[in-house]
């Protein structure tokens, strides 16, 4: 039945055109934004997961920065310890030279005194971002990673390094409660009985017995310093490994989020072409349906 009041064909064509236009708009949005899930209305579950993971990835980026800062602190401490080892080795060679009979120990002590002063200078200068890892008696921490457990709880993990100012500890000097270097503690500052510490010993009046004791004390100090430098090197290596892991983890999270929300551009391109063709056909169908009412006029022509 043909009616001039209700054009069923035009209504159907218009409904089809609206559906195609909506799908075309969605596809165009995906093509222009690159996202399959751009907002919660697109897919609430995927959008929620992606938003959480992006937030975690930003936290990992901050962890990476903190690791870089920690690496700089450890590298500063290692450089100081390595230089201190060279200085103490030089003191050792001066004392060995003092074992020779007839040598002027006063002149040798003048050189040793300069080397001892250099040890203090190294300890005072080995500070990065307000922290000194070769002087003190406390626990230093470096941020290592950001963790989200199965229950959604988040936490920041750290790597700790204990500064021990005992005579066989791992710092050159201790530190007072007021934050100044304590020259009477640490590997360099701790006393070795009657000969004093590596930092204070004066060989001017030493006999052969005291010279031998001094060499033993210095050898023990070098052993402790080498061990401390090894510990710092191990921490530096661990931080480097963690930096690489955090970077790889961040890339993996980005990739995972992309799988959830990124649009497949090849697929969307095919959809866009198909929908544009469908839209043209729907417009043509609507035009034909609208023109059918005009055909009714021919029935009333004489």
pLDDT score, position 1:
60
Average confidence (pLDDT) over 137-147: 87
Looking at the predicted structure, is the pLDDT value of residue 294 above 80? no
Flag the least confident range among 47-56, 152-161, 269-278, 283-292: 283-292
Query: CA quadruple 231, 233, 235, 238: dihedral positive or negative?
Result: negative
pTM (predicted TM-score): 0.77
Dump pLDDT digits (tens) for 9-23. Answer: 778 888 888 888 888
For residue 172, the SS3 value is coil
- Check if the beta carbon of residue 162 is closer than 8 Å to that of residue 172: no
Mean pLDDT (whole number) for 245-273? 87
Where along the chain do its domains lie? 8-34+263-294, 70-261
81-112 pLDDT, tens digit each: 999 999 999 999 999 999 988 899 999 999 99
Taking the CA atoms of residue 23, residue 28, residue 29 and residue 35 in that order, the dihedral angle to the nearest 10 degrees is 100
Give the Cα separation of 126 and 147 in Å (integer).
32
Judged by DSSP in three states, 2 sits in: coil
Tell which wins on pLDDT, 278 or 84: 84
- For the 70-261 domain, the top CATH level (class) is mainly alpha
162-191 average pLDDT score: 91
Residue 302, pLDDT above cutoff 60? no
Whether residue 115 has pLDDT greater than 80: yes
């Amino acid at each position: 039945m043909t009616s001039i009041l209700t054009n069923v064909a035009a209504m159907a064509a218009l409904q089809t055109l609206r559906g195609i236009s909506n799908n075309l708009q969605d596809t165009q949005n995906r093509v222009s934004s690159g996202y399959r899930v751009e907002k919660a209305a697109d897919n609430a579950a995927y959008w929620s997961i992606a938003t959480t993971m992006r937030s975690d990835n930003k936290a990992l980026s901050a962890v990476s920065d903190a690791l870089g800062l920690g690496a700089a602190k450890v590298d500063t401490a290692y450089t100081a310890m390595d230089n201190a080892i060279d200085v103490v080795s030089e003191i050792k060679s001066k004392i060995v030279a003092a074992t020779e009979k007839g040598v002027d120990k006063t002149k040798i002590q003048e050189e040793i005194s300069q080397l001892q002063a250099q040890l203090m200078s190294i300890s005072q200068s080995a500070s990065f971002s307000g922290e000194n890892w070769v002087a003190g008696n406390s626990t230093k921490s470096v941020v290592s990673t950001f963790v989200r457990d199965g229950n959604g709880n988040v936490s920041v993990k750290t790597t700790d390094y204990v500064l021990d100012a005992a005579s066989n500890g791992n710092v050159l000097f201790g530190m007072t409660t007021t934050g100044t270097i304590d020259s009477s503690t640490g590997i360099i500052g701790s006393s070795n009985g009657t000969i004093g510490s590596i930092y204070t010993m004066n060989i001017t009046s030493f006999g052969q017995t005291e010279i031998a004791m001094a060499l033993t004390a210095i050898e023990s100090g070098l052993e402790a310093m080498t061990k401390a430098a090894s510990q710092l090197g191990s921490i530096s290596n661990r931080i480097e490994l963690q930096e690489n892991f955090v970077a790889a983890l961040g890339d993996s999270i980005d990739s995972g989020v992309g799988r959830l929300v990124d649009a497949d551009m090849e697929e969307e391109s095919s959809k866009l072409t198909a929908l544009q063709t469908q839209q043209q056909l729907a417009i043509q169908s609507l035009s034909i349906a609208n023109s059918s009412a005009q055909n009714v006029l021919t029935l009333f022509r004489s």
